[in-house]
């Protein structure tokens, strides 16, 4: 069998990293897959589940001789990991990631890698509220989008190879400027997560004695707040690393909420319906 990569190392074998490992195995894209991460227990579980083949004694050890290294940990850990592995990467190795923040982080990582090692930043738009290697599946990415954010320094051959991996996973590839990526996803991904966490906290604050308001929630509340069950560590890092855009989006969201609040306080049914209808029409028109 002809493999695209002899050795792949995935740093962070959770939902995304584990699912990618399953794709690489099922599609015959990697001869062997090594895993690395903070938890030995998680890595041992990944081996038992057949998600990875080996685990490194350390992250630096795990990446030695790797053709492809995937950063699948929270984005706040990327720079410290790259610091640890940079001198252990072979010439010609490709480093990619699955992080949902790009911008300055991409430029920082590019400067940290040695000459001859290629960096291809990527962001597969896939996931679910469950996390951990036990939730990994080889169809997680099927039909979803993967945003790649190359710069003028990105090697074209490395870019093509990373794109081919995500295409094999069933993803549709979209190329975007790193800074544009962060502004777009602050609006459509990062803000909704912050709003969901805030909504759960808001309702919890109204609980009185033995009456927990959340216990009376229906499908609407559960649907709206589903993503608040996501990893707090991961979303802490995303919000902080994309802080400027997040603040902008939260302020815009507050402005929109205040318009609705004002119409309610003024008992202005016409204005309230206008605001709601405008949003409703936009939502109905979404693909």
CB 53 within 8 A of CB 33: yes
What is the model's pLDDT at position 3?
63
DSSP secondary structure letters along the chain: ---SEEEEEEES-SHHHHHHHHHHHHTT-EEEEEEE-S-HHHHHHHHHTTS-SEE-SSHHHHHTT-SEEEE-S-GGGHHHHHHHHGGGPPTT-EEEE--S--HHHHHHHHHHSPTT-EEE-EEE----S--SGGG--TTTTTT-EEEE---TT--HHHHHHHHHHHHHTTPEEEE--HHHHHHHHIIIIIHHHHHHHHHHHHHHTT-BTTB-GGGG--HHHHHHHGGGGS-HHHHHHHHHHTHHHHHHHHHHHHHHHHHHHHHHHTT-HHHHHHHHHHHHHHHHT--
Residue with tokens 């016409």: 270
Ordered domains of the chain (ranges, CATH): 5-176 (3.40.50.720), 180-284 (1.10.3660.10)
Alpha-carbon separation of residue 260 from 11, 201, 268 (angstroms)? 45, 21, 10
Determine the pLDDT at residue 38. Answer: 86
> Which pLDDT value is given to residue 85?
97
pLDDT of residue 57: 84
Question: What span, in angstroms and rounded, lies between the C-alpha atoms of 62 and 35?
Answer: 7
pLDDT at 129 (0 to 100): 60
Per-residue pLDDT of the chain (287 residues; tens, 9 = 90+): 456 899 999 999 999 999 999 999 999 999 999 999 888 999 999 999 999 999 988 999 999 999 999 999 999 999 999 999 999 999 999 999 999 999 999 999 999 999 999 999 999 998 776 678 988 899 999 999 999 999 999 999 999 999 999 999 999 999 999 999 999 999 999 999 999 999 999 999 887 777 889 889 999 999 999 999 888 988 999 999 999 999 999 999 999 999 999 999 999 999 999 999 999 999 999 87
Tokens of 18: 């584990």
**12 to 38, 40, 149, 208, 229: CA distances (angstroms):** 8, 11, 21, 40, 19
């Amino acid at each position: 069998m002809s493999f695209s990569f002899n050795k792949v190392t995935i740093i962070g074998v959770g939902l995304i990293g584990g699912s990618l490992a399953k794709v690489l195995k099922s599609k015959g894209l990697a001869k062997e897959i090594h895993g690395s991460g903070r938890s030995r227990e998680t890595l041992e579980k990944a081996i038992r589940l057949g998600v990875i083949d080996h685990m490194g004694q350390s992250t630096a050890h795990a990446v030695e001789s790797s053709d492809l290294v995937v950063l699948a940990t929270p984005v706040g850990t990327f720079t410290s990991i790259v610091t640890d592995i940079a001198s252990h990467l072979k010439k010609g190795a490709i480093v990619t990631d699955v992080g949902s923040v790009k911008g300055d982080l991409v430029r920082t990582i590019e400067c940290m890698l040695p000459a001859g090692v290629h960096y291809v930043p990527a962001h597969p738009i896939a996931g679910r509220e469950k996390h951990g290697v036990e939730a990994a599946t080889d169809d997680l990415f099927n039909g979803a989008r993967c945003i790649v954010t190359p710069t003028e320094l990105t090697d074209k051959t490395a870019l093509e190879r990373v794109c081919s991996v995500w295409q094999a996973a069933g993803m549709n590839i979209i190329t975007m400027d790193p800074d544009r990526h962060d502004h777009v996803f602050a609006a459509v991904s990062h803000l909704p997560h912050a709003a969901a966490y805030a909504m759960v906290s808001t309702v919890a604050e109204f609980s009185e004695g033995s009456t927990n308001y959340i216990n009376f929630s229906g499908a609407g509340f559960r649907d709206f707040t589903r993503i608040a069950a996501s990893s707090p560590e991961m979303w802490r890092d995303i919000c902080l690393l994309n802080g400027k855009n997040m603040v902008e989006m939260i302020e815009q969201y507050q402005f929109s909420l205040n318009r609705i609040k004002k119409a309610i306080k003024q008992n202005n049914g016409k204005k309230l319906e206008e605001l709601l209808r405008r949003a409703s029409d936009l939502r109905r028109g979404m693909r």
